[in-house]
Amino acid sequence: MTPPSPVVDLLLRHETAILSESVEGLLRCRLARYEAAGAEETLRRFQRLYSLLLDAVRERDLEPVFAYSREIARQRFAEGIDLQEVQSAINILEEAVWRRVVREIPPEGLAEALGLVSTVLGLCKDTLASTYVALATKRHAPSLDMTALFRGTQNRFYTNSTE
C-alpha cells in the first residue's frame, strides 16, 4: 500500500483546526443566512464539503464534487441564499487549507498541493455559479471556458524579444 500524499496527510491531520477556523471565519463575516443557521449547522456543512475535498484529492475523482455543487446550488437558491454567501463559505475553507499547505508542504510540492485544492474547490465554485445562473435565468448555463483569455500568452513573457 502506498503512503498518502503530503496534501492528503495534511488534510487529515488538520481537519479539526481547518473546520473550526472556517466556521469562525464565516460567522465573523456576519452573513445573515449562515448566522441564522448557527455554528453547529455551519460546521456540518463545512464537514460535508471538507469530506468531498479530501476524497477528491485522494481519489482524483471530481464527479462527487460536481453532484454536490449542483445539489447545494439548487438548495441554496430555493432557500433564497445569495450566491455570494455560498461562494464566501467555500473561499473561507480554501484559505484555511492554503495557509496550512504553504506553511507545511515543502516548496517542491506546493504547486501540486495548491493545484489539487484549488482545482477541487474551484470546480465546486464554478459549478455552483453556473447552476445558480441557470436557475435564475431558467435555462442552461454552461461552465465558463476561459481558454480564449489566454491565447497568445504562451511563451510571451519568457522570450527575450527586442520589440
Q: What is the pLDDT of residues 85-139, one digit of tens each?
A: 899 999 999 999 999 999 999 999 999 999 999 999 999 999 999 999 999 887 5
Instruction: Classify residue 95: in a domain, yes or no.
Output: yes
Number of domains the chain contains: 1
- Three-state secondary structure call for residue 51: helix
Instruction: Classify residue 150: in a domain, yes or no.
Output: no
Taking the C-alpha atoms of residue 48 and residue 110, their distance in angstroms, rounded to an integer, is: 25
| pTM attached to this predicted model | 0.80
Instruction: Classify residue 145: in a domain, yes or no.
Output: no
Instruction: Classify residue 11: in a domain, yes or no.
Output: yes
Instruction: Classify residue 72: in a domain, yes or no.
Output: yes
Domain holding 64, by residue range, is 6-140
Domain of residue 101, CATH code = 1.10.490.70
CA distances from 162 to 4, 63, 129 (A): 48, 47, 43
